[in-house]
Structure 1
Amino acid sequence: MSTPDDQSPGPRPESPRTRDRIYRSPAALVGGALLLAVIGWLGIDAVVTGEGRTPWLALAVLLLVVPLVVAFTLRPAVFAGEDRLRVRNPFRVIELPWGEVVSLRSGYTNEVVVKSGTKYQLWSIPVSLRARKKAARQQARREAEARGEGRRRGLGFGFGGGFGGLGGVDAAATADQGPVRAETDQVMDELREMLAAREKAAGSQGEVSVRWAYEVMGPAGVGLVLLGVVLAVL
């Protein structure tokens, strides 16, 4: 009869992996859907009702333009997982283990830099200078309100709280909220936190891989060739 000490512990169940965080541009998704709707409506109408070489021209333009619209609007995305960062740009998919990432930079564009010095732009996380200026104005307004609240508290009449409850902004609460940041800058901060947490993990090591998006380039190339043939022959 075996005792508990004699029993083999067996394989331990793996801890559940968290799902990848997916970052995409809502404006690009909406704009891309609208563009595809308009292009599809005009193009299909020309193919069905057009005369002469018009249907062929419309078909060639559809084959050329639709993949490009999808590539630059609906396709871009960033997938941040426990072990790696996967960047899906218009014409490439880049797999970046966290251990190979050196930094995530924000300037006029957001980009990731790897140990080899190569930079890859994050198409789905565009920089909005307008959003940054708006966030800066909100931060300045918040700081001004906090300073004004501090002065009102200092000028209280000794009733144990000044005018803090009369619509002013609590300076301590304002400080706890942190600085106001544009949405894409907040996303980059999240990615930097993931990089700091996972860059030395064993599962986050490996090599950078880059794959060309032939599923986009192929149809667009066919459309370009067909367009050239139609214009030259018909």
Structure 2
Amino acid sequence: MSSVQPPEDPAYDDRIYRSPMALVSGVLLLALIVWLCGDAVVRGHGNAPWYGVASALLAVPLVVAYTLRPAVFANEDRLRVRNPFRTVDLPWATVDAVRAGYSSEVLADGEKYQLWSIPVSLRARKRANRKGDGEKAGADRSVSELQELAERCARRQGAQGTVTVRWSYEIIAPAVAGAILLVVLLATR
């Protein structure tokens, strides 16, 4: 007779935490950049098309970095924090705490990492506290879910490992190229 062991926990896809207002703002800002810089490229005379290209090359990666890119992905093995210029992978065994004060952050291996995609609203927190029905503000609810997930999954075999940090050169390189092109254009006027 063979002994079959049940799985530790049911597997699920990543939970994704993002700021809806940041996504809306990012899309609107990108539309504005395309409109203004596109007009300069298509209708501009002299150096105007080059200024349009340089400005777009600088602005688009920064808008993407600060509005569309930030996200927190959580599954049963790890927490992946995607901030504007870097991505941090945190196996649950390394996470000491997830908390929200004036900002949301995760503490792991003696370091503190900000959670850009879970903004703290002190106004929403006050409103939830005034209601007094035990309801939490959005950021506090998300942070509680992540803290509970960290505590529950830290002992899993797949949740072991070390913290890894990767810089987002796909955002940094075009922004730097746009800034250099803009400086060269301004210097050669």
Where on the TM-score scale, by shorter chain, does this alignment land: which range?
A: over 0.9
**How much has 1:17 moved relative to structure 2?**
2.6
Are positions 1:112 and 2:106 aligned together?
A: yes
Segments of 4+ moved more than 3 angstroms = 11-16
Match of 1:136 among 129, 134, 137: 129
- Residue 80 (1) aligns with residue 35 (2): no
The correspondence for 1:220, drawn from 175, 182, 186, is 175
User: 153, 159, 169: which is aligned to 1:198?
Assistant: 153
- Identity among equivalent positions (%) equals 56
Structure 1 residues 4-153: aligned runs within 5 Å: 17-115=11-109, 117-139=110-132, 142=133
Give me the whole-angstrom Cα distance separating, in 2, the residues matched to 1:13 and 1:57: 62
For the pair shown, which has the larger CA radius of gyration, 1 or 2?
Answer: 1
**Matches of 2:161 and 2:92 in 1, distance apart?**
9
Q: TM-score, normalised to structure 2's length?
A: 0.94
Structure 1, residues 124-183: CA drift from partner, whole Å, max 9, x if none?
0011111111112222xx5xxxxxxxxxxxxxxxxxxxxxxxxxxxxxxxxxxxx12101
Do the aligned partners of 2:54 and 2:178 also contact (CA within 8 Å) in 1? Answer: yes
RMSD: 1.8
List alignment gaps of at least 5 residues for structure 1.
143-178
Count of paired positions: 187
SS of 1:35 mapped into structure 2: helix
Superposed CA offset, 1:78-133 (max 9, x none): 00011000000000000000000001121111100012x11000000011111111
Q: How does 1:147-162 map to 2 (within 5 A)?
A: none
TM-score by length of 1: 0.76
More strand by share: 2
- Work out the CA distance in 2 between the residues paired with 1:106 and 1:48: 47
CA distance in 1, matches of 2:84, 2:41: 27
